[in-house]
């Protein structure tokens, strides 16, 4: 999955960083909202489905960059809980595409040391896709090169409701006391339990909103919005996002280390 044959700009030596990037200041976890597949296809005079296929190739290239450059986690927003409202033909196509990609790419991802995980409510997904997801997670569970999380049928508000219900049930069963419910307790009930929060969120196509994605997890995430449509988001565009990230002063609500307190 991780080898590129279509974008010459990706033919780097393993672990080689583009000029200007500081390996010590790279984000550990990058999250992406992959927006613009349909618009890209329309501009090319192609059906929307062609945009989704090209978008999948872009995601493969991004995963390769993250792995080679030492970014330890990548999370992508593949299908939101609101996306069921799209035309039935497109939804069906996406479900089939997800399953085909998993079946086709899983062995190579496993050889590359990619650990797959999935965030979202799996119950409404086709049973064959649910099976592929379980097999992928089991096969790659011990891999450590990069944590690759795919958010499918995911919505952050429903994730938080699910976490609250689980904590209430545990409290009613006497397993925890209400006073024990803190940020860590909530985080343990999220789909992303055990995965560090994103350092950088990238959203493409010029849209500037979070769209119900990782709302709890992104409390202190740096946000980067690109005008490029997702199928156009290549290595150079990713490099620009990382360069911008490295300019940020991440204070987490505190003063900068170089700041002085006014009298």
Query: Which residues are tagged catalytic?
Result: 35, 83
H and E: helices and strands count for the chain = 7, 6
Say what angle helices 48-69 and 235-245 make with each other, to 10 degrees. 50
CA-CA-CA-CA torsion sign (40, 44, 46, 50) = negative
> What's the distance, Cα to Cα, between the start and end of the chain in Å?
57
Question: Which strand ranges, in their side-by-side order, compose the sheet holding 222-225?
Answer: 114-119, 146-154, 73-80, 29-33, 200-203, 222-225
Burial 173-183 (b: 16+ CB within 10 A, else e): eeeeeeeebee
- Contact in structure between 111 and 143 (CB atoms under 8 Å): no
Q: Which tokens hold the place of 107?
A: 């062995």
Q: Which residue has the tokens 């999948």?
A: 56
Q: Which tokens hold the place of 7?
A: 């974008």
Q: Which residue has the tokens 């992406």?
A: 32
**DSSP percent split of the chain into helix, strand, coil, nearest 5:** 45, 15, 40
Rounded to an integer, what distance in angstroms lies between the CA atom of residue 231 and that of residue 37? 6
């Amino acid at each position: 999955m991780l080898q590129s044959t279509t974008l010459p700009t990706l033919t780097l030596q393993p672990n080689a960083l583009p000029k200007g990037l500081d390996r010590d200041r790279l984000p550990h976890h990058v999250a992406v909202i992959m927006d613009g597949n349909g618009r890209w296809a329309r501009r090319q005079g192609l059906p929307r489905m062609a945009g989704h296929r090209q978008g999948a190739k872009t995601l493969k290239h991004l995963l390769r960059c993250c792995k080679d450059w030492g970014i330890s986690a990548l999370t992508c927003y593949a299908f939101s809980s609101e996306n069921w409202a799209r035309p039935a033909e497109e939804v069906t196509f996406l479900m089939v595409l997800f399953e085909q990609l998993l079946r086709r790419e899983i062995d190579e991802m496993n050889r590359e040391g990619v650990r797959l995980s999935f965030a979202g409510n799996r119950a409404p997904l086709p049973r064959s896709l649910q099976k592929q997801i379980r097999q992928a997670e089991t096969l790659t569970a011990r891999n450590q090169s990069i944590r690759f999380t795919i958010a499918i049928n995911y919505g952050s508000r429903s994730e938080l409701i699910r976490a609250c219900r689980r904590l209430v049930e545990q409290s009613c069963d006497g397993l925890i006391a209400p006073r024990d419910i803190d940020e860590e307790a909530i985080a343990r009930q999220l789909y992303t339990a055990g995965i560090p929060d994103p350092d950088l969120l990238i959203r493409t196509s010029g849209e500037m909103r979070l769209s119900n994605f990782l709302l709890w997890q992104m409390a202190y995430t740096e946000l980067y919005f690109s005008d490029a449509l997702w199928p156009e988001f290549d290595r150079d565009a990713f490099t620009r996002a990382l360069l911008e990230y490295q300019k940020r002063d991440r204070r987490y609500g505190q003063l900068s280390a170089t700041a002085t307190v006014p009298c």
